[in-house]
Structure 1
Amino acid sequence: MKISIGNDHAGTGYKEMIKEKLESMGHTVTNYGTNSEDSVDYPDFVHPVAEDVENKKADLGIIICGSGNGANMTANKHQGVRSALCWNVEIAKLAREHNDANIISIPSRFVAENLATEMVETFVNTDFEGGRHQRRVDKIPAKKYC
């Protein structure tokens, strides 16, 4: 599977650990960094991940920032992206099963590194259930209501 990953300064350590785990599982990982703990602007590293998912250059994306919120909001501006802010394994699993999420947003200041890795592993290994959930996912893209 092709997976793109991006992070701000709050997620550098997490990104390295997650990237190593994914590669050991046989996945191809594109790293959009940052590779430093120097302060940066998260959109600069999230947009490339969302673009990869949007353009089907990546099957899934992983984004990491301090709260996970800014990264999540940024990713969800892209067509076809369904980014889910996750803080435990069950939420990560349900985001894939019920919402067909294709990007996981991780709040590095609120989850332990081992939990972040477990969430990513669950996210990557869980399939969308479809069925009744497909109808709901189909209604996510914005439409004008006049």
Structure 2
Amino acid sequence: MKNTNLVSILILIMISMLSLTTTVIAQTETTVSPTKSIWPPSHYIGTLQSYLDDLQRLPGIIDESICAANDAGYQEKMALLQNRIEGISSLMVEMGLKIPSTVNLRIIQTTITKNKICGVGKIATGYADLAREKLDAVIRNAGLYNE
């Protein structure tokens, strides 16, 4: 009888431990979300500022490549521009900031692509400057600028 009670107690302990382990695993899985950032928004601000700076300066550099008929330079800088546009969007999401519907970052790239002529950089830079102003306002309203 003693052995039966001891075995029953051990089985109950093992079931309790299994249940506790399952609960802890389930809680861990629900608290860590792949879309939720593990860093505060301020962690990303330097990278975002750098990307926004690139967004404003790249159209002029691309325009110089177009004017000089430097296709390799054009391709390289257009790839970087695309990377920066995607990076800005990703960083804003990571920071929990919403890009206003009035901000169209792709128009910078498509303006250059559709009008690959010397001088197009000024128009694309204008779009980049406008986007920068609007995104700066979003960042400032979130309290992430120390101006």
Please give the TM-score of this superposition, normalised by the length of structure 1. Answer: 0.28
**Which of the two has higher C-alpha Rg?**
2
Please give the TM-score of this superposition, normalised by the length of structure 2. Answer: 0.28
Relative contact order higher in (CA < 8 Å, ≥ 6 apart): 2
